[in-house]
Structure 1
Amino acid sequence: MINFKLNGKPQQCSATPDTSVLELLRDTLGSTGTKEGCASGDCGACTVAIGEPGPDGQLRYHSANACITPAHQLNGRHLVTVDGLADGEALHPAQAAMVECHASQCGFCTPGIVMSLFTLHEAQRQAPAPLTPQRLEAALGGNLCRCTGYRPIRDAALSMHDYPHRRPDWLDLGVDAAAPQVADDSDAAFVQPATLAELIEARGRHPQAPIVAGGTDLWLDITQRLARFTRVIDVTRVAELNAIDEACLEDGRQGWWIGAAVSYSRLEPLLETHLEPFAHLLHRLGSAQVRNRGTLGGNIANASPIGDTPPVLLALGARLRLAGPDDGHGVREREIPLDDFFLDYKQTALGEGEVIHAIFLPRLEDGQTLKVWKLSKRREDDISAVLAAFSWKHEAGVLRDVRLAFGGMAATPQRAAQAEAALEGQPPSPAAFQAARLALQQDFQPMTDVRGSAHYRQLSAANLLERLRLVLAQQETHAPGEVMLHAYAH
């Protein structure tokens, strides 16, 4: 049974474990304002807002793609849809601005756009900040308009704060704490453990049940491949998997243990402060709707060769903390370098009953530099053809601690060991980088698929190494600016 609020009204619904929020709205509750477009989290037509309490207890709303969000994750949350925004004849400012600016065209994508603007309006209310082009683009980057009329939509976003709004009280009301919650019985169809120990117990009892966090990849099995899940283990409420803890390893490296269920959106402020190139990548990792739901742990556990974050983590020297059962029916943990986690295509070092507990994200050391470059057909909300993450130190005229990691070049995210060896201890000269580019041909034999041919990938990877050489040459001459157009230029 799912207990939540829908536009301020308590709801109690039953659903199968593979039901999405979109199915629950349209098929069970008859709330048809939310539309289905792509059913894969790309177009944003089904965007809704989900409210949950923040650290201060105040309800905060984030946008989400209803088509790939598990319905059971609404338990104890507040769902807002386009059907509930108007107060009688009084439209919400996002709606009024869309009308006034003639921003609704065929109308099919409009409900999702309005809901993205609603969450932007809520964010502005709680923390007023300039509505920069970058911020506006991030808010609307996951909403596709096939009529191509983005200018009036942008105008509506910029003007919605000019419209009066009597904010309904129910937007600040959470779900009654006394309401029944998802059963923590490990035999339930949708298992939602609250602790790591409960998660390991459920994993041991149901080893074939898929684990879901954000659902941004797993739920595509349902919508695109028509799979059916008789049982699902949800990790979003596991306290240990939602923690971010500063730490120092035994080898002296400093950084943070990031819980495997921490969303990209929660991680973004930390990255912006300490790892700007990684934060920059997040702008191109899916849409705001995806970043609000997707997790670092899920991107790693998925073990896709074109996952965006693993190459960056490999370049940084990240570690994993894995948790599994011990002989006494408790929890046993072990740590491994991320380099040892990916074994082959979609195969990992997870043992029987194990899950990813946390990821150690290292700080940049003194003198260490990180660069991340992603190649894709679209700038936003697209999967990589090739992604490169480079880390190095430039000391006494030579390169040290060189780590070159790529996605899209092999069956797993992988470091270019021979190219690294060609650069280690060498000055960043054209000759050294020529040797590294030749070594890449030994490191990788990429595949051909719809995102790029093997030749394109091999050439692109070599060109990204050449871009690195140009960056280093520019730093030596203290020339201003970037050597190429920034991938998120405004």
Structure 2
Amino acid sequence: MRHHIRFYLGQTLHEVSDISPTLTVLDWLREQQGQTGTKEGCNEGDCGACTIMTVRLESGQLTWRSVNACIQFLWMLDGAQLFTVEHLQNPDGSLHPVQQAMVDMHGSQCGFCTPGFVMSMVAYVQNGGGEDPKAINTALAGNLCRCTGYAPIVRAMQHACRIMVEQGNHFDVAKQNIILRLSALQDDSSVDIQSHCGRITLPASSNVLASVYLENPQATLVAGATDVGLWVTKHLRDLPHVISVRSAKDLHKLEQRDGGLWIGAAVTYTQAMPALATHLPDALETIKRIGSTQVRNAATVCGNIGNASPIGDGPPLFMAANTILHLRQGHIRRQIPLENYFLEYGKQDRQPSEFIEGIFIPDQSAQTVMRAYKVSKRFNQDISAIMAAFAISVGTDGTITQARLAFGGMAGIPCRAKMAEKALLGQKWDTPALEAARTAILNDFTPLTDMRGSAWYRSTVSANLLTRFFEETAQHGSGQPLRLEGWREISHA
């Protein structure tokens, strides 16, 4: 058991023990280290001005991730190496190729957002990113600029990619040293820090997590902190005792098992994306629109479920895929269908000291077709007004044998449209079945009016998304039953 965290800031090793559970990386950098290149903008992980780059050793390989320093707690850096804009210059003092490209392509005006952009860009190229504008736009969707417009920034990114292919950069040269440095920090120890500021527990395994949580049911579980971070920065909440989920190494398992895909509680959306793209191809475009690159690098798939937000994008998608939720309390484990976890707004089927170990997504049959739709005011990095995921299965006689129509944003919890599903069962996937489902879905929900949409808008769009699903999957005018096209088309609103 260690009683301090260890990480590198640039080339300097830090061992820290007397820290608050709610101290953010941003505040530590600016207030205690005097490194003010990392900016505070929104303080909620939305603008990207605070973007930093973390490097970790995972399965013997270095992973370079851009994250929002404003909603990352300092203790989450244990075992990592942190780089800020102050650490980018070359050994001879010249600018990093990305920084020089921003100068050459006039990508900066007032300069406030520039360090965050630069850090996202460096992480992008360190992960093998190229000149494709679409990929660059995705990588930079979590960084906002109010001065220049984004065209010169994208051109700078393309220019930097070309330069680095030709010349490389000092991070590539230092790769082996970074591996050795981070390897020395891997001691597989749990960490427990108790000070006048509070208590921080970083369990090395799920067994330790289960034991500590059983003894301390009042503690706050933290995975990626993309939600909990806002409790601190916006609601000014104290967290007397935090227990990390992501420090438990066995909760990082992401694997194909007999009959489906297992995603452990510590797996981030970024880590899960390739597997989900294979297992549920329709999920890919939807997941790309969950938060930003920085958010997906920190947010876990199971954390998105655990916080039980009625507007979370993951739960409807996984509910449509018939996902099973695995829960643990001490040595007791149980499994429930994912939709049964959400009881009512602010209430879930989770007992004191019980935590999510992972989810299991069954393999989808050849008779099942699925689509997912996210409706939001902004295309990128915006909270959904409505998130919908539909899956139907058709028997050999052409009738619908199973229908799973899941929604977020339509009620106080993510939930299925049971009346609309019932209207489809036993019917052929034709216009009368569609109209019956459209009528039924209006009775499934009584949505609220808020800043993202009125009740009328949500009711209308939910029915219209069913029509879109029908238009994309039914064979019109052929007189033939639905011929499922599998997962070939990817749709998003």
Alignment TM-score, normalising by the size of structure 2: 0.91
Report whether the alignment pairs 1:413 with 2:414. Answer: yes
Alpha-carbon distance change, 454 to 97 in structure 1, aligned in 2, over 3 angstroms: same
Q: CA deviation at 1:133?
A: 2.5
Q: CA deviation at 1:180?
A: 8.4
Report whether the alignment pairs 1:67 with 2:91. Answer: no
Q: CA deviation at 1:2?
A: 3.0
Q: CA deviation at 1:176?
A: 6.0
Q: Equivalent residue for 2:234? A: 224
Write the mapping of 1:134-145 to structure 2, written as runs, cut at 5 A. Answer: 134-145=134-145
- 3-state DSSP class of the match of 1:246? strand
Q: Could you tell me which amino acid in structure 2 is paired with residue 104 of structure 1? A: S
Distance 2:27 2:187 in 1: 22
| Residue 326 (structure 2) aligned to one of 321, 326, 333 | 321
Q: Equivalent residue for 2:24? A: 20
- 3-state DSSP class of the match of 2:112? coil
Q: CA deviation at 1:470?
A: 1.2
Q: Equivalent residue for 1:385? A: 385
Report whether the alignment pairs 1:455 with 2:465. Answer: no
Q: CA deviation at 1:449?
A: 1.3
2:109 and 2:148 in contact (8 A); partners too? no
Alpha-carbon distance change, 95 to 474 in structure 1, aligned in 2, over 3 angstroms: farther
Write the mapping of 1:23-34 to structure 2, written as runs, cut at 5 A. Answer: 23-34=27-38
Q: Could you tell me which amino acid in structure 1 is paired with residue 345 of structure 2? A: Y
2:130 and 2:158 in contact (8 A); partners too? no
Report whether the alignment pairs 1:184 with 2:194. Answer: no
1:452-483 deviation line (CA, Å, top 9, x unaligned): 111111111011011112112357769x9x9x
Distance 2:427 2:237 in 1: 52
Q: Equivalent residue for 2:405? A: 404
Distance 2:453 2:319 in 1: 23
2:203 and 2:244 in contact (8 A); partners too? yes
| Residue 234 (structure 1) aligned to one of 237, 244, 263 | 244
Q: Equivalent residue for 1:312? A: 317
Distance 1:240 1:421 in 2: 40
Distance 1:4 1:476 in 2: 64
Q: Equivalent residue for 1:251? A: none
Q: Equivalent residue for 1:258? A: 263
Write the mapping of 1:125-164 to structure 2, written as runs, cut at 5 A. Answer: 130-163=130-163, 164=167
Q: CA deviation at 1:448?
A: 1.2
| Residue 270 (structure 1) aligned to one of 275, 281, 284 | 275
| Residue 284 (structure 1) aligned to one of 268, 271, 289 | 289
Q: CA deviation at 1:363?
A: 1.7
Q: Could you tell me which amino acid in structure 2 is paired with residue 408 of structure 1? A: G
Report whether the alignment pairs 1:114 with 2:124. Answer: no
Q: Equivalent residue for 1:328? A: none
Distance 1:85 1:176 in 2: 22
Q: Could you tell me which amino acid in structure 1 is paired with residue 428 of structure 2? A: P
Distance 2:263 2:444 in 1: 30
| Residue 37 (structure 1) aligned to one of 20, 30, 41 | 41
Report whether the alignment pairs 1:90 with 2:94. Answer: yes
Structure 1: 5+ residue stretches without partners: 249-253, 326-330
Q: Could you tell me which amino acid in structure 1 is paired with residue 249 of structure 2? A: A
Q: Equivalent residue for 2:223? A: 213
Q: Could you tell me which amino acid in structure 1 is paired with residue 375 of structure 2? A: L
Distance 1:475 1:79 in 2: 56
2:188 and 2:204 in contact (8 A); partners too? no
1:342-365 deviation line (CA, Å, top 9, x unaligned): 111121111121000010112211
Q: CA deviation at 1:246?
A: 2.4
1:225-258 deviation line (CA, Å, top 9, x unaligned): 111212211111112311123223xxxxx11221
Alpha-carbon distance change, 179 to 342 in structure 1, aligned in 2, over 3 angstroms: closer
2:285 and 2:492 in contact (8 A); partners too? no
1:51-105 deviation line (CA, Å, top 9, x unaligned): 00122x1322111000011110111100011000002431111101101001011
Which stretch of structure 1 is more off in the superposition, 341-350 or 12-21?
A: 12-21
Structure 2: 5+ residue stretches without partners: none
1:94 and 1:121 in contact (8 A); partners too? no
Distance 2:279 2:188 in 1: 38
Distance 1:344 1:374 in 2: 22
Distance 2:153 2:452 in 1: 30
1:366-411 deviation line (CA, Å, top 9, x unaligned): 1211100010011010111101100012343322211100000111
Q: Could you tell me which amino acid in structure 1 is paired with residue 45 of structure 2? A: G
Distance 1:60 1:485 in 2: 28
Alpha-carbon distance change, 90 to 181 in structure 1, aligned in 2, over 3 angstroms: farther
1:390 and 1:403 in contact (8 A); partners too? yes
Q: Equivalent residue for 1:175? A: 182
Q: Equivalent residue for 1:203? A: 213
Report whether the alignment pairs 1:193 with 2:198. Answer: no
1:186 and 1:202 in contact (8 A); partners too? no
Q: Could you tell me which amino acid in structure 1 is paired with residue 383 of structure 2? A: I
Distance 1:36 1:464 in 2: 39
Identical aligned pairs, as a percentage?
Answer: 41
Distance 1:260 1:54 in 2: 16
Distance 1:362 1:98 in 2: 46
Distance 1:7 1:171 in 2: 13
Alpha-carbon distance change, 476 to 170 in structure 1, aligned in 2, over 3 angstroms: farther
1:267-300 deviation line (CA, Å, top 9, x unaligned): 0111222211111111110100011110111011
